[in-house]
Structure formats: structure tokens, C-alpha cells
Amino acid sequence: MRFKRVFGLLCAASISFVLAGAASAQDKTVKIGAVFPLSGNAASAGIHAKAAIETAMDIINNAHPELGNFPLAKNAGLAGLGGAKVEVVFADNQGSPATGQNQALRLITEEKVVALTGAYQSGITLTASAIAEKYGIPFVNGESTAANLTERGFKWFFRTTPIASDFAKVYFDFLTDMKAAGAKTDTIALVHDTTEYGTSVASVITSAFKEKGMAIAEDISYVVNATDVQSQVLQLKEKKPDVVIMVAYTSDAILYSKTMQALDYKPPMIIADDSGYSDPSFIKSVGKITQGVFNRSSWSVGPPGSPTAIIADMYKKRSGDEMDDTAGRQMQAFFVLCDAIDRAGSTDPAKIQAALKAIDLKPDQLMMGYKGIKFDEKGQNTLASGVIIQLQDGEHYVSVWPKATAEKAPIMPFKGW
Amino acid sequence: MRRLLWPSVALALAIAYPLLFSTPFQQRLGALVLLYAIAASAWNIVGGYAGQVSVGHVVFFGCGAYAAMGAYSHFALSPLVGIPAGIAASVAIAAVIGVPTLRLSGHYFSMATIAVAELVRLIVSDTDYLGGGVGLSGPTVPRNVFDLSFISALPYYYLFLTVLVLTLGITWWMADSRMGFYLRAIRDSERAARSLGAPASRIKLYAFMLSAGLTSVSGTLYAAMFGFVDPESGLGILISVKMLIMAALGGAGLLFGPLVGAAILVPLEEISNNLLGGNGAGLTFIVYGAIIVLIARFQPGGILTLLMRLSAKPGKTPDISSAAGAPHAP
């Protein structure tokens, strides 16, 4: 009897010891939830996002002195929390807003994550962040560009990525600089498809340019996944605009390049709006006949040995693909979130929220070409911006603008083939 | 009296469920089961009882969802307004598309309904008033209780339970009425039913309209819970397929078939996603699909017919006559 009692006490003691041990071990990890489309239509984007977040985790959790002053890289773990490691729980949104919200709820209530990131598709970011708002959990998004996400009066939603109005400003500033350098930019033609993406970007560019007193001379639209764009290209050929801005998905972008070559039409300057023109398959198939096209991106690899080049290399080893703009923007959002947790020195959601509100990162603390990270009261990054890149050799884009961070000087006019 | 025993037990269990499983995720899972059970039960009226396999029911689901979000976005009204508005719109649409399509039989009817659903999805994607490709969202911060924007899943759970009981009540009443007998006769052989004087076209159309109205309610409830609808989530063909699979799996043409189907498939989908979704290998759908294949292979009449056969006393004919002619999982 007596032995049993002692034995029982010993058991209880050892169990509580083990539990206490587990608890203190748990204190040293910070759990963050990541909702991405790991299956379904956008699975490829989701898998790349996962690789990007894992690369960022590697940088944060292990010491990477080779990255220099890059935030969170130098020492292992988060210094503000005594070297705590970051743990990410990934969840699959299956391309459905309902599943995305269910998973966000599970991550918050079952996995007890202290913050969330994701969810790629704007519609899913919308529903997933709604549940985070209700539970008072910070949600940092790095890649969804729908304007309405930051118009909902949320207090826990933060977005680091530039949106269409930011890009319109980039194009305008770039053209102003080019004009100062002697290029002719008086007439501008805007070519776009009639999808949500094409029409919304086109209308934002048109109104932003108009505001600054620069009119769009030609607005040419076409139906997405076109089989023939000869009439559009002939229209351009006849009007001879100084600048052509292209808003097109991959298959249409390829078709435009081929048609321009077939009709022997070379506008003096083409500026592409990311998407199709950034797709590796675009560069592979028609890069050689689209030499000199300008494109926008917030990502540029930078010179060898720079933090961005090292990060790009780490990402390529993990994912097997070159780092691209989308993966970079997701990674940047994750760094911002971890940086806020580090500054908060706590896993209390309210303190993380306060740190996010107070965050003010400078360009040299970022991997993306933003002018910084500073959120307005709606949660949108006011310093989000992009750089202009150019496909000079038909194989690789190099950054050409703004001058301060450019790898090479822009080459004019458009060379084509 | 014995007839009411099992439904009462099921109802008692359903009422007690959120108290037994009290974590937010379990409660939400319960609410989702009920939500999908409502949609599948509504589909069951036309797909199960009348044997007309509609794959276009998502149109009615979308009517309800868009009516709810539209009422909020354009008129700042409660999403609940979507219930009458959605019912009115979907019953009207059902009448318009039902007259020509219900004349088609078998696969042709299914194909026609797919065409209608895809057409509606494309039109809505291009309609700015309905949010185009971006979709419409609901109240993010609730103004009052009628905005149906709750943190806990409990209010949704009991709301959905009430609607499900009503839906099943209507179905039960319909199945026991003259219309129910007509429908079963039409399902077994439309030609024979017509020759005996059953007004087949009219009855099928009534069933289609009733089913459409109830499906629209499930759409409104869905949109109210998730606070968002876009062409893919409100009008994607997969939603129709889900209703169909749930009803067929549980037992199409049986009152409780869709509920049993939803109670199996929804947790299966959510839990397999929780356990396997994070590794990004797409395992969720493999497991989910495999289980559906197994059930379709070994119990095509639905889980409920299996349970009925097992519970029937030996020597007595099992009472599965109402399911005997149920269409197999397509």
C-alpha cells in the first residue's frame, strides 16, 4: 500500500517534470500558420510558396553570417525571444475560399499559431483573414493584389505587396526618367485582355496617368487566350505609338511577340506588366525575338555575393526553380512577420500587431525592391514599389531602373529579334 | 411509432453534438456537415426521388449565395434577405430551364444542366454588378445579429440544424404525398407512369422548382457563414458534384441518405486535409477519392441501404423498397 502510494507520487512527479520540460521546450518555438494552395489549380504556386517560406525559415532558424546585415539572418532563431526557433504549420486551401477559412480556423484554434500568412488567391486571403480578424490574430499577406483586401477596416491584416496603383506609379516615374534621358514618350498605347486582371490593371494605369497629365492615346483590348492578334498589332503599326504597355497572360504574350515579328513591327519601347512576360516559358519560347522588352518586378537577383543572390541560390536548391517575383514577395512578407515577432519580443498577438503597426524597414533590410515597409492604418504597405527590368539578351531579365539599384543601363530602342 | 424512433435519436444526437465536441473546429465541422446535408437533401428531391440527375444545381446554390452577398454589398441589408430573394430567383430560373431540359432523359438531362451551370458561371464572371471575377463579400464586422457574422460556429450549427429539419420535413411530406408516389413511379419508368395518367412533365417540374428553392437556401447559408462568394466558389461545377456524391453515397432517394453521406464525406475531406494537406503532395484527394471508389464499388445503393439491410431482422423482408430503384452513383 505504502509502496504503491510512493510509486504513484513518483509517477506524478515524473509526469509533471516531463510536462514542464515540454512546456519550456515549447516556449522556444514560435508557431506560424501558412495557408497556401498546395493542391488544385494553383498548386504549382502553392508548392513554390512553401519552398519560399522554408527557405526563409532556414535563414531565420540557422546562423547565416554570409547574409551580412540582413535582418534575422546573423544568429540562429529570433534574438528578441532568446533565440526561439520559428515553426511553420502549412495548410492546404485546395483553391477554395471555404477550405481556406476552415484551415485558418484550425491553425488558430487547434495548432495555436500566433500569426498567419497566405493565402495566394485574393478570394481565399479574404475569407482566411476574416477569421483571423475575428480571433485577433495578425495576418500578413505578401502576394494577393485585390484592392478590396485592405478596404475592409481590418485591424489585424497587413499587406506588404505593391498593388496595381503602385505599379502605375512605377511606370509613370520610369517614363518620366526615360523622357529626361532623351527618349520619346509622348504617345502611349495600352494593350490588355478583358479578364478581371487585364481590365482592372488597365483602368488603374489609365486613371493614374491621366491624373498626372499623361493621356493614354490608344486603348486596345482583346479576348484572353487569343488565336489571332494581327488586327491589334496592325492597329499599333498604323498609330505608331512611342510606348506600348502590354498587359497579357503567357499564351497571349507569346502570340503578340510572334505576330509582331511576322508583321515586322517594332515599337520604340515595350513595357510589360509582369504576368505572361515573366513566365519562364515565355522567355524560353520567344525571348530571343523580344529582346529589349521592359518588365516590372519587385525582385532582382542582384550582383553575386549579395544577400539577394545568396537567397535566390538557397531557394533554387530547395525548389529546383529560379526565384521569381511571386515567391520573393511571399518570402518578404514572412520575413516582415518574423521581424515583427522578434521586435515584439513576445508571441502575444496584440504585441505582434503593435510591432507590425510600428514597423519601418529600410530598403537595405529587404530582399525585395520595395522602398521600405511601413503600413498605413488600413494595413497596406505605403512604401511598396517595384523596379523595371529588361530582357536585354533575350534570356535573362536584368534590373535597369531605378538607377540606384540598377545592374545595367536601359538599352533603347526595343531590339526585337 | 417505431418509424419516429431513429429520426428522434438522430435529432437528439445532433442537438447534443456541439456540447460533446466543443472545440471551435469540431463545432464548425458539425455545422459544415449540416450545411452540405441541406444542399444534398435539396438535390435529393429531384436527383433521388425523381431520378433526374441534375449537375446544374450549383446555379441555385449560387443564386442564394449571390442574393445574400448582393443584398449586403448593394443595399446594406442582412444576408438573410438572400433567403427569399434567392428562392424567388432560383424557382424562376428552375421554371425557365426546367421546361426544356426536363424533357430530356438520362444523360442528356445531366449534360444540359452542366451546360446551363457553366453558362451562368461565365456570365456572372463578366457581370460587374455581381463582382465579376473578384466576387462579392459580406459584412466583415457585424452590425447586428442579423448579419450572421459570428466568431463561434454554434449559432451557425443550430441555424443549419433548424433549416435541415425543415428541409427533411418538407421532403418527407412530399414523399408521402401524391406527388411522392408520382415521382417514384416516374423514376422507375416514366413511360409506364405516363400511360397510367401521371402528369409526368408537370410533376417533374414541381420537384425541380422545390429542389431549386431549397438548394438556394443552402447557398445563402454558405455565403453568410464564409462571408464571400466568387464565380468559382459559388457557381463552380464541383459544388453540384459534391451534392450528388453525398446523396448517392448515403443513399439517393432515401430521406436520410444525403445526411448520412454528408456526415461521412465532410469530416473525411476536412480531416484528411488537416492530416495530409500540409505536405503539399495532394494526398488528400487520393484518400478521399479512394474511399468514394470503394463505397461505389461495394455498396452502390448507398451506405443507408447497407445499414437497413444489416438491421433488418432475419426472415423478414427488409424495408428498402423505396431505395430499390435508386440510381446508382453515376
Q: Across the interface, do A195 and B133 touch by the CB < 8 Å criterion?
A: yes
Residue A55: beta bridge partners? none
Residue A208 three-state SS: helix
What pLDDT does residue B152 have?
87
Q: Across the interface, do B280 and A47 touch by the CB < 8 Å criterion?
A: yes
| pLDDT surpassing 80 at residue A16 | no
What pLDDT does residue A25 have?
43
Q: Is B284 on the interface with A (CB under 8 A)?
A: yes
When scoring A32, A57, A134 by the number of chain B Cβ atoms within 10 A, the one with the most, hence best to mutate, is: A134
When scoring B141, B265, B286 by the number of chain A Cβ atoms within 10 A, the one with the most, hence best to mutate, is: B141
Contacts of B25 in chain A (CB under 8 A): 102, 105-106, 109-110
Beta carbons of B276 and B284 less than 8 angstroms apart: yes
Domains of chain B: 2-324 (1.10.3470)
- Of all residues in chain B, the one with the smallest CA distance to A152 is B140
First to last CA, chain A: 93
Interface of B with A in 189-228 (CB under 8 A): 222, 226-228
Q: Which residues contact B211 (CB under 8 A, 6 or more apart)?
A: B42, B43, B44, B45, B46, B47, B54, B57, B60, B94
Contacts of B232 in chain A (CB under 8 A): 95-96, 123
When scoring A32, A112, A133, A196 by the number of chain B Cβ atoms within 10 A, the one with the most, hence best to mutate, is: A196
Of B237, B241, B242, which Cα lies nearest the Cα of B121? B237
From the number of C-beta atoms within 10 Å of its C-beta (0-12, 13-18, 19+), residue A34 rates as buried
Segment of A208-217, B3-12, B27-36 carrying the highest mean pLDDT:
B27-36
Q: Closest partner residue to A123 among B23, B135, B284, by Cβ? A: B135
- B228 phi/psi in degrees, rounded to 5: -165, 145
Gap between the Cα atoms of B275 and A260, Å rounded: 51
Q: How far is CA A351 from CA A118, A121, A391, in A?
A: 21, 28, 44
Q: Closest partner residue to A91 among B125, B226, B277, by Cβ? A: B277
Of A330, A352, A359, which Cα lies nearest the Cα of A114? A352
- Of all residues in chain A, the one with the smallest CA distance to B235 is A96
Please state which of the ranges A10-19, A150-159, A311-320, A381-390 shows the lowest mean pLDDT: A10-19
Q: To the nearest whole angstrom, how far is the Cα of B230 from the nearest Cα of chain A?
A: 7
Q: Closest partner residue to A126 among B137, B141, B270, by Cβ? A: B137
Gap between the Cα atoms of A270 and A180, Å rounded: 18
B328 band by pLDDT with thresholds 50, 70 and 90: very low
Please confirm whether the linkage preceding B327 is cis (ω < 30° from 0): no
| pLDDT surpassing 60 at residue B29 | yes
What pLDDT does residue A289 have?
94
pLDDT, tens digit, 9 for 90 and up, residues A350-370: 999 999 999 999 988 999 988
What pLDDT does residue B122 have?
86
Interface of A with B in 120-139 (CB under 8 A): 122-123, 126-127, 130, 133-135
How many Cβ contacts (< 8 angstroms) between chains A and B? 93
What pLDDT does residue B317 have?
46
Of A57, A64, A51, A49, which Cα lies nearest the Cα of A32? A57
Q: Closest partner residue to A50 among B232, B280, B284, by Cβ? A: B280
When scoring A102, A117, A139, A163 by the number of chain B Cβ atoms within 10 A, the one with the most, hence best to mutate, is: A102
Higher pLDDT residue, A370 or B318? A370
B313 band by pLDDT with thresholds 50, 70 and 90: low
Contacts of A133 in chain B (CB under 8 A): 140
Q: Across the interface, do A134 and B151 touch by the CB < 8 Å criterion?
A: yes
What pLDDT does residue B280 have?
64
Interface of A with B in 227-286 (CB under 8 A): none
Please name the residue ranges forming H helices in chain B.
Answer: 2-20, 24-44, 58-75, 82-101, 107-125, 154-176, 178-188, 190-195, 200-226, 231-235, 237-250, 257-276, 283-298, 303-311, 321-324
Q: Closest partner residue to A92 among B23, B227, B278, by Cβ? A: B278
CB atoms within 10 A of CB B192: 11
Higher pLDDT residue, A204 or B321? A204
Higher pLDDT residue, A14 or A302? A302
For residue A375, what is its C-alpha cell? 503600413
pTM of the model: 0.83
Q: Closest partner residue to A146 among B24, B134, B273, by Cβ? A: B134
pLDDT, tens digit, 9 for 90 and up, residues A220-232: 988 877 889 999 9
| pLDDT surpassing 90 at residue B68 | yes
Q: Closest partner residue to A130 among B28, B140, B270, by Cβ? A: B140
Q: Across the interface, do B230 and A98 touch by the CB < 8 Å criterion?
A: no
| pLDDT surpassing 90 at residue A132 | yes
Of A356, A350, A369, which Cα lies nearest the Cα of A407? A369
pLDDT, tens digit, 9 for 90 and up, residues B220-240: 999 999 999 988 889 998 899
Q: Is A91 on the interface with B (CB under 8 A)?
A: yes
Q: Is A44 on the interface with B (CB under 8 A)?
A: no
